[in-house]
Amino acid sequence: MKKFILTLALWFCLASTAYAAELIMFSMKSCGYCRSFLEEVAQEYKNTDNAKVLPLRIISMDRRNAPRWFDTAYKAGKIDGIAGTPTFIVFDSGKEVARLIGYNGKERFYDDISRFIKENRDKLAARVGVNPIPYEKDTEMTPKQALRETMGELANPTSQHKQEGSHSNNTPKEDRPNIHNEKLKKFPNGVVNSRDIMDHIYKTETEAQIAANWLGCRGVHSHNLPDKGLIFMPCQMK
Res. 238: pLDDT tops 60:
no
Average pLDDT over residues 69-82: 90
pLDDT at 161: 36
Query: Taking all residues of the chain, what is their mean pLDDT, rounded to a whole number?
Result: 76
DSSP string, 129-190: TSSPPPP-TTTEE-HHHHHHHHHHHHHS--EEEEEETTEEEEEEGGGS--TTSTTS-B-TTS
Of 52-56, 161-165, 179-183, 231-235, give the range with the top mean pLDDT.
52-56
pLDDT tens digits, residue range 150-181?
A: 887 544 433 333 333 333 333 333 333 333 33
pLDDT at 165: 32
Task: Decide if 74 contacts 166 (C-beta within 8 A).
Answer: yes
Q: Which has the minimum average pLDDT: 41-50, 88-97, 219-228? A: 219-228
Average pLDDT over residues 187-205: 83
Q: What percent of the chain has pLDDT over 70?
A: 78
Indicate the pLDDT class of residue 183, thresholds 50, 70 and 90: low
- Scanning the chain, the segments in alpha helix (DSSP H) are 9-14, 32-37, 43-45, 49-53, 68-75, 106-125, 143-155, 205-215
Task: Compute φ and ψ for 108, nearest 5 degrees.
Answer: -65, -40
pLDDT at 20: 76
pLDDT at 101: 86
pLDDT at 237: 63
Q: What percent of the chain has pLDDT over 90?
A: 26
Say whether 22 sits in a helix, a strand or coil.
strand
Q: Mention the CATH class of domain 9-152.
A: alpha beta
Q: Which has the minimum average pLDDT: 18-22, 67-71, 81-85? A: 18-22
Domain ranges of the chain: 9-152, 177-238
The one-character DSSP state at 127 is T
Higher-pLDDT residue of 27 and 199 is 27
pLDDT tens digits, residue range 138-154?
A: 899 999 999 998 887 54
Average pLDDT over residues 98-118: 90
